[in-house]
Every structure is written in structure tokens, then in C-alpha cells.
Structure 1
């Protein structure tokens, strides 16, 4: 079975760094999860006066208002088959601030009809977007979102997300850069940091609904 990233990238997948091929080659057949642990060097974005409005999104693990430096971070990836029969991977991100733990969650799957990677956002998955993928000359992975859709019914020109990830040979870890940008408000959220990962065995009953932990 090919992973959703292999399906989306095609022959480009073989150009990824071997460690990225291992991580993004995860499938439900393997019965493994990826556990990442590290720190985000800096989390920034959104004018201070607008940050309270982001608290609305924190309930659904869409976005959050807290900002800081050297923020402890964890990531859990579960590969599973969703209720529509699609191979899917959950992204369960947790940021540990001094007075709050915030989530930034998603589920990615490959849509055979659209021949594209779909990113369902938050715990509810009510917002979704298609993702364009590419591989850099150094073997890193680039992902850029398109317009957002609400309940897969209508689209709007909302925030766009860009993600760049590459493997740091010296640190033996993944370097992650994420940028969420709004066409009118500018940068809503930007973070970058170093994440060490390991592969752990799982059983089916370890995977919660939509692969997202509450």
C-alpha cells in the first residue's frame, strides 16, 4: 500500500530524504504511530489586539492566541482508514504554554476523485482545504494549502497554510516551519522548531474518532 503522500507526490516521493520517506510513508497497514517531541523556537503572529478572537478557534483546536519562545511541543500521527474508506493520517499537535495547553489538529487523506491531498482542520473537520505538495532540492517537503471549504459545500478565500519540513542530520531530528497567513490580516500564526520522532506500535482501539485526541 502506498501512503497518502506517495500518492500525492508520485515519483517525487523518492526524492525526499530517507528519514522523510520513512515518516511520510506511514500507512494503516503498518500499525505504527509517529510520536514527535521537541520545542518550537518561537510562536508568533497576529496583532495583539486581535489575538483574543483566536480563542474561539482554540475550542476546536483550529488556532490559538498564545505566543512564546522555546515552547514544548508534541506531535502524534496515526494512520488509519476513515469512515469514507480513505487512508488517512491524523495530526495531533500540542503546544505547552506556562498556563495552557493548546492544540492545532488536522486529518489528512488522499481524495482519489480530486487526485489531491485533503486537509480536514480541527477536531470537527468542518473546514477543509486541498494541499499542493513538492520536494526541495535538499529532499525537504513543501506543502501549500488552497482555498478553504466549509463542510465540503462552498469555498472562501480564508487563511492559507504553508509547511516546510526537512531532516537535520546533525541533530538527528526534523526541522518544521509552519506559516498560516490571511489575505487581509497577514500572518495569523507562525512557528518553527526541532522535533525528535520515534515509531511506536499501536492497536486499532488506540485510535480515537477521526484520529484526533480530545
Structure 2
């Protein structure tokens, strides 16, 4: 079966740079995980206005309080079948002091990727994927839903952020590049980072999946 990203992009997947095609082919059928290591040239946030959100998010590995230049970065994309039988891919991003956890699944009813944020999958975000004219992958987040206990509520736009992620491959440097910006309709740009990394592919059957990259709770609701 094609990966969740292949299914979401459909024919447009073939327009991705070949290195991105391999990276986002990670899935149960590929049997590979993609582990990236590199440096973020800049990690920034809007300071005092977002500090309460950053502090709260840190408890469940959502958002990043680190700021600075040339910060070490690691991203772990492991495919596995979760307890609900869904093909899932981890997006665990590690910075010097913080971690930003996400797990992605494909929602057949919406024909798009759903992103569950944090250690407990308590925020669900639909993702719109596209390919730009340089063969890069562009991801735009949709409206967030809070899934906590019996609650399943759509969060107001003013209380959340919209993320835009652009990932490319630099043939000259032989590295993946990534740029992330999160914006709020009231506060403007509130968080972001950009930099580059190299990737290695590991056989999941041989190496297994670290328990540390899996969420502590799995959420069935969208």
C-alpha cells in the first residue's frame, strides 16, 4: 500500500524531488524509518506573548521553547500500526531542551493526513499537502480540535496557530532543508525555525521502534 503521504498527494507525489519521494515513502510497506540529524540555523518565537502557551505545551511535548542559532536538531519518522489498526508515522523533533511530538495517520473519509500533536494525541489537526514548483513538499495545518477526556471541541482560530512547513532537498549540499512558520490571526507570526539535515534509513524489522517515540495515549477521534 502507498504511504500516507503518497495517498494524500496522489499523482502530485511524482513531482516531488526524488530524495523527498524516498523520505515520504516511509510506511508499513517500505519497512523503513527515516532518521534525520542536522542543525537549525534559527529557532525563534514571539517572546512574552506566547510564553504561557509554550510553557503549557512543554508538558506534553508540543511547541518548542528553545530559541537561538545553530541548534542541534533530530527528527524521527517511524512507521507502525497503532492499537486502532491505523498506519501511523511518527514526527518526533528533538531540540537541545525540548521535544515536539506528532503522529500522523491517513483519514480515508477526508482523503487527507491527520496530525495528532503531543504525547497524548489530544490535539488533532488536518493537514493540506502540496508540491511546489521546486519539487518541495508544502504542508499547511487546518483548524485544530481539542480531544481531552469527553471533550472534542474545535478551538477558536485566535487561540491557536496555523503552521506552514516547507521541505526541500538541496542537491549541491546533499541535505534536506526545512522551514517552519506558525502564525496567529491576532498576534501574527509567533514561532518558527529553519535549517537543514541529512537522513539515514533504517530497517524497522531489524532495529525495532523505540517506545519513546510512540504516544502515551492513542485517540480515535478526529
Normalising by structure 1, we get a TM-score of: 0.91
- Identify the range of structure 1 (202-211 vs 16-25) with the bigger mean alpha-carbon deviation: 202-211
Structure 1 residues 174 and 88, CA, compared in 2 at 3 Å: closer, same or farther?
Answer: same
Q: Which residue of 2 aligns with 1:190?
A: 192
Shift of 1:49: 5.4
| Corresponding residue of 1:126 | 122
Aligned-pair CA distance for 1:180: 1.3
CA distance in 2, matches of 1:52, 1:70: 25
Give 1:79's aligned residue: 79
Q: How far does residue 82 in structure 1 lie from its aligned partner after superposition?
A: 1.6
Separation in 1, partners of 2:208, 2:199: 22
Distance 1:179 1:141 in 2: 14
The offset of 1:14, in angstroms, is 0.4
2-structure distance, mates of 1:66, 1:9: 32
Report 1:12-161 matches (<5 A). 12-48=12-48, 50-96=50-96, 101-151=97-147, 153-156=152-155, 157=157, 158-161=160-163
TM-score, length basis structure 2: 0.88
- Distance, in Å, in 2 between the alignment partners of 1:210 and 1:166 is 24
Distance 1:146 1:7 in 2: 18
Cα distance in 1 between the residues matched to 2:120 and 2:130: 28
Q: Equivalents in 2 of 1:91, 1:107: separation in Å? A: 6
Q: What runs of 5+ residues in structure 2 fail to find an aligned partner? A: 217-222
Specify which structure has the higher proportion of strand. Answer: 1
- In structure 1, the partner of 2:209 is 206
The 1:179/1:49 distance shift into structure 2, 3 A limit, reads: closer
Q: Tell me, in whole angstroms, the C-alpha distance in 1 between the residues paired with 2:113 and 2:210.
A: 21
RMSD value, Cα: 1.9
Q: Match of 1:19, SS?
A: helix
Q: 1:171 aligned to 2:167? A: no
CA distance in structure 2 between the partners assigned to 1:132 and 1:50 by the alignment: 25
**1:30 aligns to what SS in structure 2?**
coil
Structure 1 residue 52: Cα displacement: 5.0
Aligned residue for 2:182?
180
C-alpha separation in 2, matches of 1:60 and 1:150: 13
Query: Are 1:159 and 1:180, in contact at CA under 8 Å, matched by a contact in 2?
Result: yes
SS in 1 for 2:51: helix
SS of match in other structure, 1:147: coil
Structure 1 residue matching 2:134: 3-state secondary structure: coil
Deviation of the 1:159 alpha carbon: 1.1
